[in-house]
Chain A
Amino acid sequence: MSTAIIAIIAVGILGALLGVIIGVVAKAFAVEVDERIEEVTELLPGANCGGCGYAGCADFAKGVVSQSATPDQCPVASPEDVAAIADYLGIVAEEKDKMVALVRCSGDVPNTVRSLYNGVRDCRSAVLVAGGAKGCDYGCLGFGSCAEACPFGAIEIKDGLAIVHKELCVGCENCVAACPKDLIIMVPEAATTHVYCNSPEKGAAKRAVCKTACIACRKCVKASGEEDHMEIDGFLIRTNYENPPGPELVEAAACPTTALRIDTEHAKGAYAGESK
């Protein structure tokens, strides 16, 4: 019996002693943590996507608090989140236009010439074999390296073509670097109408390998009239994102290859099989 009591007392004393030591050490070697960093980290989305250029949200919060970054650099945070962080830190948040990713290709499997490919199902590996198993040298390979890079699941591979769901895209730009064909650019979220082609080849060469390529017929340029909504770049028409056209241009231009598309309709697959 007494042995048990001795044991309890001994362990009790030992515990108390170690507790005191821990207490003292904690006080003596305490690391100053700026509680604002924790607070800002809490207010950030916590996606750790790296879109801001920092190594995750906590690192970005450190940057914001030390004023080497501004809260609006976080591409994921909504304007309300940014305002809340700015409010908390007592700084003025800048307004910015939200940018979303755009895959400039509409060449899905039914509309393009492709060769057999048995290799690694990954775009960056596929380009090593004859530039990818697609007739068009510039088009989307559709193995989903961008979709894999997207932490928000905003890119879907449908019929061998990467399609951005812009309501899910936060603009972190991870996909931009993942694409070996440099097909993905960031465009203002407000822009709705895009040219889904990025091939600088001549019209006939593009048509030979893809039914939905932009053949630079300039119908869309004419349809936009005086407004320079569309820019001519060699054998390719590009949307002028300084002055983007509205969705009505698609109807007005009646693009013969359906390369000119409204993004939300494109994401729904509305243009499948429409090309003449």
Chain B
Amino acid sequence: MSDKPRKFKGGVHPNDSKALSAHKAIQEAPLFDSYKVIMHQNIGAPPELLVKKGDTVKKGSLLANASGFVSVPLHAPTSGTIKAIDKVPGPTGISVPCIEITADGEDEWGSPLEPIADWKTTDAAVLKQRIWDAGIVGMGGAGFPAHVKLSPPEGKTVDTLILNGAECEPYLTADHRLMLEQAEDVVLGAAIIARVLGLKTGIIGVENNKPDAIEALNKVASKYNIKVQGLPVNYPQGAEKQLIYAVTGREVPVGKLPMDVGCVVQNVASAAAIADAVVKGLPSIERITTVTGKPLVEPGNWKFRIGTPVTKALELAGGITEQPAKLLLGGPMMGIAQSSLNVTVMKNTSGVLLISQDEVSQYTSEPCIRCGRCVDCCPMQILPATISQAVENKRFDWAERLNVMACIECGSCSYSCPSHRPLNQQFKRAKIEIQAGLRKKG
């Protein structure tokens, strides 16, 4: 393995706007009156509800239990009573079940998890069970249960652990601040994950635009035998497959998982959460989220409990100076625009972003001029222009042959398109139609 990172083909360089919040230290959000914890915060099966209306819960006690292997339990963010189990708009806009907790202000601790004092001698299976019990999911955005990635099936060997600290998404600085201020937690988490996987070491990949974070990590990394790797600045450097290529030079084939090339990738925030879960017995009930955007008075990074209403988060950031045009959960490239302010902070909410009126352009999409910019920038090396024409003609079979399923929905093509074609949305549609077709075939 060479130490020099490789640059993946394609990618774009959007204005990163990280300066709005990169210098702001992480602040602990105060305790709010009520929290709305969305039931289904992980990819996979929704957890089974354990509480009912009127129940009293303590901070860290179980609200819902994992309903299968690809499912994680859910814990109460604070102590209080269950006010309602109702529906709220979820991150994708569809209403989803949600547990509303009225906080009693005591914030009384009641987690079923005990700290594991000496993780270095604890059995790997016990550590993995702890990661599962703590309800840890991929906190970079996808929300994939962390323990599943740490359970390679028979016949697959994992030889490389990569921690994703690229944070290539513009505006977001939550991971940056985490690596800077809690470098030890991140590195400790990496060491625990390495132990679960039976590896001696792990590599933390950080984009070179965060030299202070790289320095902070380097100070503590050697203590746990973890390496830190600077990465070229290129969106989407933080995409799993691009990161693996940059660090190891291995390419994950279409339709395969990182595990197939011997790699496991975890987000740095997940690693810090894993360290907390093991060493402090803290379930996944809080996360660091960047609240940012030009319309906000005081953009910054906060440590929020899961279920914090976004309106409260925006209030903490000082409110708005001008009418925003868009509210996004996540970053501007891959985040999802919201149609309501009733959304809440979830385990995978890395950012709450307001976009001002003058930053969005109202456009209509024009025909493709065949300039090929989308083909140049596609990090998965598929042909966005051709596929979009297939989708426009509802030829999902044709799109499938052109490997639309390899699309990682990074949005680079839509970003670079001079005709403002909604390429990314068309690929999302095609992927859903193709998956629905496969389900029908059985």
> Which residues of A are in contact with B by a Cβ distance under 8 Å?
115-116, 118-120, 122, 124-125, 127-135, 137
**Closest CB of chain B to A116's CB: distance in Å?**
7
Encoded as 1 (CB less than 8 Å from any A CB) or 0, chain B from 326 to 350 comes to 0000000000111110000000000
Question: Nearest 9 A-B pairs (CB), nearest first?
Answer: A131-B93, A130-B93, A125-B429, A119-B422, A130-B339, A131-B94, A119-B425, A128-B428, A120-B422
**By the criterion CB–CB under 8 Å, are A118 and B325 in contact?**
no
**By the criterion CB–CB under 8 Å, are A115 and B339 in contact?**
yes
Tell which of B89, B92, B425, B428 has the most Cβ of chain A within 10 Å: B425
Q: Closest residue to B328 on the A side, CB-wise?
A: A130
Among A120, A130, A135, contact of B429 (Cβ-Cβ < 8 Å):
A120
Chain B residue numbers with a CB within 8 Å of A131 are 89, 92-94, 339
**Closest CB of chain A to B399's CB: distance in Å?**
13
Q: Is B254's CB within 8 Å of the partner chain A?
A: no
Q: Closest residue to B426 on the A side, CB-wise?
A: A120
Chain A residue numbers with a CB within 8 Å of B422 are 118-120, 125
**By the criterion CB–CB under 8 Å, are B363 and A118 in contact?**
yes
Among B338, B363, B420, B426, contact of A130 (Cβ-Cβ < 8 Å):
B338
Chain B residue numbers with a CB within 8 Å of A115 are 337, 339
Q: Closest residue to B423 on the A side, CB-wise?
A: A120
**By the criterion CB–CB under 8 Å, are B363 and A133 in contact?**
no
Q: Is B95's CB within 8 Å of the partner chain A?
A: yes
**By the criterion CB–CB under 8 Å, are B429 and A137 in contact?**
no
**By the criterion CB–CB under 8 Å, are B429 and A128 in contact?**
yes
Chain A residue numbers with a CB within 8 Å of B340 are 135
Q: Give 22 A-B contacts (CB < 8 Å), ordered by A residue.
A: A115-B337, A116-B362, A118-B363, A118-B364, A118-B365, A118-B422, A119-B422, A120-B422, A120-B425, A125-B426, A125-B428, A125-B429, A127-B93, A128-B429, A128-B432, A129-B425, A130-B89, A130-B92, A134-B339, A135-B340, A137-B89, A137-B94
**By the criterion CB–CB under 8 Å, are A118 and B93 in contact?**
no
Q: Closest residue to A115 on the B side, CB-wise?
A: B339
A120 to B337, CA, bound (A): 15
Chain A residue numbers with a CB within 8 Å of B433 are 124
**Closest CB of chain B to A196's CB: distance in Å?**
21
**By the criterion CB–CB under 8 Å, are B425 and A116 in contact?**
no
A259 to B441, CA, bound (A): 40
A134 to B336, CA, bound (A): 15
Chain A residue numbers with a CB within 8 Å of B426 are 120, 125
**Closest CB of chain B to A61's CB: distance in Å?**
27
For the A-B complex with A128-B425, A137-B95 known, give 14 more contacts whose Cβ atoms are closer than 8 Å: A116-B325, A116-B362, A118-B363, A119-B422, A120-B425, A125-B428, A128-B428, A128-B429, A128-B432, A129-B93, A130-B93, A130-B336, A131-B339, A135-B340
Tell which of A120, A127, A132, A135 has the most Cβ of chain B within 10 Å: A120
How many chain B residues touch A (CB < 8 A): the figure is 23
> Which residues of B are in contact with A by a Cβ distance under 8 Å?
89, 92-95, 325, 336-340, 362-365, 420, 422, 425-426, 428-429, 432-433
**By the criterion CB–CB under 8 Å, are B89 and A129 in contact?**
no
Chain A contact surface mostly: loop
**By the criterion CB–CB under 8 Å, are B362 and A118 in contact?**
yes
Q: Closest residue to B424 on the A side, CB-wise?
A: A119
**Closest CB of chain A to B428's CB: distance in Å?**
5
**By the criterion CB–CB under 8 Å, are A137 and B325 in contact?**
no
**Closest CB of chain B to A209's CB: distance in Å?**
9
A119 to B423, CA, bound (A): 9
**Closest CB of chain B to A43's CB: distance in Å?**
32
Chain A residue numbers with a CB within 8 Å of B95 are 137
**By the criterion CB–CB under 8 Å, are B337 and A129 in contact?**
yes
A125 to B365, CA, bound (A): 15
**Closest CB of chain A to B60's CB: distance in Å?**
32
A125 to B432, CA, bound (A): 10
Chain B residue numbers with a CB within 8 Å of A135 are 339-340
A131 to B433, CA, bound (A): 16
Chain A residue numbers with a CB within 8 Å of B94 are 131, 137
A228 to B429, CA, bound (A): 42
**Closest CB of chain B to A60's CB: distance in Å?**
22
A248 to B426, CA, bound (A): 46
A133 to B338, CA, bound (A): 9
Q: Closest residue to A148 on the B side, CB-wise?
A: B394
Chain B residue numbers with a CB within 8 Å of A127 are 93
A129 to B339, CA, bound (A): 9
A149 to B422, CA, bound (A): 22
**Closest CB of chain B to A208's CB: distance in Å?**
10
Chain A residue numbers with a CB within 8 Å of B432 are 128
Tell which of A127, A134, A135, A137 has the most Cβ of chain B within 10 Å: A137
Among A125, A132, A134, contact of B425 (Cβ-Cβ < 8 Å):
A125
**Closest CB of chain A to B432's CB: distance in Å?**
7
**By the criterion CB–CB under 8 Å, are B336 and A129 in contact?**
yes
Chain B residue numbers with a CB within 8 Å of A124 are 429, 433
Q: Closest residue to A125 on the B side, CB-wise?
A: B429
A115 to B92, CA, bound (A): 15
**Closest CB of chain B to A200's CB: distance in Å?**
9
A129 to B424, CA, bound (A): 11
Chain B residue numbers with a CB within 8 Å of A129 are 93, 336-337, 425
Asked, given contacts A116-B325, A124-B429, A125-B429, whether A132 binds B363 with beta carbons under 8 Å apart, the answer is no
Chain B residue numbers with a CB within 8 Å of A120 are 422, 425-426, 429
A120 to B392, CA, bound (A): 9
A90 to B261, CA, bound (A): 68
Chain A residue numbers with a CB within 8 Å of B429 are 120, 122, 124-125, 128
Chain A residue numbers with a CB within 8 Å of B89 are 130-131, 137
Chain A residue numbers with a CB within 8 Å of B336 are 129-130
A134 to B93, CA, bound (A): 10
Q: Closest residue to A124 on the B side, CB-wise?
A: B429
**Closest CB of chain A to B299's CB: distance in Å?**
23
